[in-house]
Amino acid sequence: MINAQHAHIYRIHTLHFIFGEIFFPKFLSIQPLALGTVAHDITTLEDQNNNAGLQLQINAMVEQERLEYDGIGDELMEMQEILWPIKRLQVKDFAIDMLFEYEEDDGSTLLWCQGRVVAFIKESIDKHVYVKIEWSDKCVRDGDLKITRNQLKKMKWNPNVPVGGAWQEDLYHKLMHKA
């Protein structure tokens, strides 16, 4: 008799497990939750996590701005690819930032100029490439050529320390979309 009762209880539990049915005795006032509902505690916890995450992002941005102001790091530099983009240079319209060094009365000044690669001329394997760049109007002064032939050295791709002749992809538009 005991074996028969155990077998019957086992069969009921197995059916409930297989079909996912949950039955509560009538004396319990527990009502099963409908699918898709979330307890108030959980939504409050999620809101607190979202607010904490937003505050963390704001704090990180403020710290990054402070470091950039102190001359440490550059957000555009950190967004660059690690390897120089030789394949993408061969395709027209590569947006480029190039750092030029200008001599003035009080010393030299470094200035980033923006343009687009309009032609890939030739490559010296793993050392440098020659390209034609059409410069942005804001970077061309009176008497300067709008399109120039430039040598882009691999060792000057996105350097940690800015030097004349350094170059990187112009990602300013991506930085503006982050805000």
Instruction: Tell whether 68 and 103 lie within a shared domain.
Output: no
Instruction: Tell whether 155 and 95 lie within a shared domain.
Output: yes
Among 55, 73, 91, give the residue marking a domain's end: 73
Instruction: Tell whether 123 and 156 lie within a shared domain.
Output: yes
CA-CA distance, 94 to 117, in Å (whole number)? Answer: 5
pLDDT of residue 108: 83
Instruction: Tell whether 60 and 82 lie within a shared domain.
Output: no
Instruction: Tell whether 164 and 149 lie within a shared domain.
Output: yes
> pLDDT tens for residues 9-59?
444 444 444 444 455 455 545 556 566 677 777 888 788 888 888 888 888
Instruction: Tell whether 153 and 91 lie within a shared domain.
Output: yes
Q: For a pLDDT cut of 70, what percent of the chain falls above it?
A: 70
Instruction: Tell whether 92 and 160 lie within a shared domain.
Output: yes
Q: Where are the beta strands (DSSP E) in the chain?
A: 94-104, 107-124, 128-135, 147-153, 167-169
pLDDT of residue 111: 85
Mean pLDDT confidence for 118-141: 90
> pLDDT tens for residues 98-108?
988 888 888 88
> pLDDT tens for residues 56-85?
888 887 887 777 666 666 666 677 777 788
Instruction: Tell whether 93 and 34 lie within a shared domain.
Output: no
Among 44, 73, 102, give the residue marking a domain's end: 73
Range of the domain at 1: 1-73
CB proximity list for 138: less than 8 A, separation 6 or greater: 114
Q: Is the pLDDT of residue 129 over 50?
A: yes
pLDDT of residue 161: 80
Instruction: Tell whether 60 and 94 lie within a shared domain.
Output: no
Provide the number of structural domains found in the chain.
Answer: 2
Mean pLDDT for the chain overall: 76
Instruction: Tell whether 12 and 46 lie within a shared domain.
Output: yes
Among 34, 55, 73, give the residue marking a domain's end: 73
Instruction: Tell whether 63 and 79 lie within a shared domain.
Output: no
- pTM of structure: 0.55
